[in-house]
Amino acid sequence: MYLNISEQELIDQNAFATAKEISQQPNSWRKTLQALEPKKALIHDFISTFLSFDNGRVVLTGAGTSAFAGRALAPYFTGHLKRRIDAVATTDIVTDPAEYFAENCPTLLVSFARSGNSPESVAAVELASQILDNCYHLVITCNEQGRLYQRAKDDARSLALLMPAETNDVSFAMTSSLTSMMVACLHALLPEKFDMARFEALSTACESMLTASIGVIRDIAALNAQKVIYLGSGSLQGVAQESALKLLELTAGKLLVSFDSPVGFRHGPKSVVDETSLIVVFISNDPYTRQYDLDLLKELRADNQALRVVALTTDVDSVVAEGDYVKIPDFPGADDATLAFPFLMFAQIYAFTRSLNLGIGPDNPCPSGEVNRVVQGVNIYPFIN
């Protein structure tokens, strides 16, 4: 049984793989850390070599969901590593590499890739090495047979981190692949802060969520929302973007889905809100940022225009308690990078449940083939410096 649904029922609804991969995440994070433990010294030496450059730049990249891993982590890394960290999708790099790599400084390209075979992911790595004089590659992938992993094995300036085999999701949408790669990246770049003890607490909290919060999430998914808006500040804006994509993917584009920051939402996008709208606000645990999140939460509720406004939080204060909320259990004091994981799981479970409610098989929501698990049909053109 996964997500409180029997295996046979999941198989009948073409939903077994997605449910299993959502549910396995806490244990997959443990396995990810265990797999990286023997490489601890190698990872430290590789990262330390790059960080020794005073003018070094880190670029977090990937396509689709893998790109949003970078968007969710870049602001956090910038604040803690105190250096330039950019999140740039491979789909942007391949179309205009001269601009994204215009500054010929020492660069660490961190590539997130479930399969490691997406044309843009492979091309971005090659373009970076072609254009930049001093380029290092950290490849974080779930597929040992993928082109990115195989390339890294033969490159002295590359290091590949392989996730547990189970995270190479067989379902259409990335779930355990995404979060396991994020775990690996946090551990690689901030090993003292994101150690095994911290991830054990995270895994335990999310396991509690898989039991304690399923009913609440199902009740929210039962609402006939035709517009779903995710809002998050800082790193949580990247989480909001991935949450929106997950819902769009698993419901085969049947819903109007968007994301923004709480402050940015007022500047035009808020006009989309009507009686069919569900708004989910990811509440930051940073005391300063949280003030802005709560201000908009109060405003949206006072407007009384949306079908429902739901706050996701670990701390239920008086403002949150005035309306609908989902409390992340057993997880007080988590910072926003850690909050990303239960927030993403909420979005995955909500998208999965909405997909079932709409009669769509989450494992393959687009059986006609217009959208594929690994993108096809992309032409990569030669680039001349």
- Report the DSSP pairing between strands 135-141 and 107-113: parallel
| The total number of residues written for the chain in this structure | 385
202 shares a domain with 114: no
DSSP label of 163: P
Asked whether residue 374 is domain-assigned, the answer is no
The reported pLDDT for the residue numbered 374 is: 57
The reported pLDDT for the residue numbered 331 is: 78
Which amino acid makes up residue 147?
Answer: R
DSSP label of 318: T
Distance CA 166, CA 337 (A): 23
97 shares a domain with 15: yes
Q: How far apart are the first and last CA of the chain?
A: 54
Distance CA 239, CA 83 (A): 22
DSSP label of 359: T
Asked whether residue 370 is domain-assigned, the answer is no
105 shares a domain with 139: yes
User: How many domains is the chain partitioned into structurally?
Assistant: 2
The reported pLDDT for the residue numbered 371 is: 55
127 shares a domain with 225: no
Q: Which two tokens stand for residue 266?
A: 């007022």
Distances (CA, A) of 64 to 22, 49, 276, 342: 18, 29, 27, 20
Asked whether residue 208 is domain-assigned, the answer is yes
338: domain CATH number? 3.40.50.10490
Domain final residue, candidates 194, 222, 251: 194
Asked whether residue 2 is domain-assigned, the answer is no
The reported pLDDT for the residue numbered 332 is: 75
Are 177 and 163 spatial neighbours (Cβ–Cβ below 8 Å)? yes
The reported pLDDT for the residue numbered 94 is: 96
175 shares a domain with 56: yes
pTM for the full model? 0.95
Residue-range definition of the domain harbouring residue 129: 7-194
Which residue stretches of the chain have pLDDT < 50? 373
Asked whether residue 385 is domain-assigned, the answer is no
Are 334 and 341 spatial neighbours (Cβ–Cβ below 8 Å)? no
Domain final residue, candidates 142, 163, 194: 194
219 shares a domain with 175: no
186 shares a domain with 250: no
The reported pLDDT for the residue numbered 342 is: 97
Asked whether residue 38 is domain-assigned, the answer is yes
299 shares a domain with 186: no
134 shares a domain with 260: no
Domain final residue, candidates 194, 225, 243: 194
266 shares a domain with 139: no
Please give the radius of gyration of the chain, using alpha carbons only, rounded to the nearest integer.
Answer: 20
Q: Which two tokens stand for residue 80?
A: 């803690």
Are 357 and 228 spatial neighbours (Cβ–Cβ below 8 Å)? no
The reported pLDDT for the residue numbered 376 is: 60
The reported pLDDT for the residue numbered 32 is: 97
Q: Which two tokens stand for residue 308?
A: 């429902």
Asked whether residue 363 is domain-assigned, the answer is no
Are 66 and 139 spatial neighbours (Cβ–Cβ below 8 Å)? no
237 shares a domain with 211: yes
Asked whether residue 34 is domain-assigned, the answer is yes
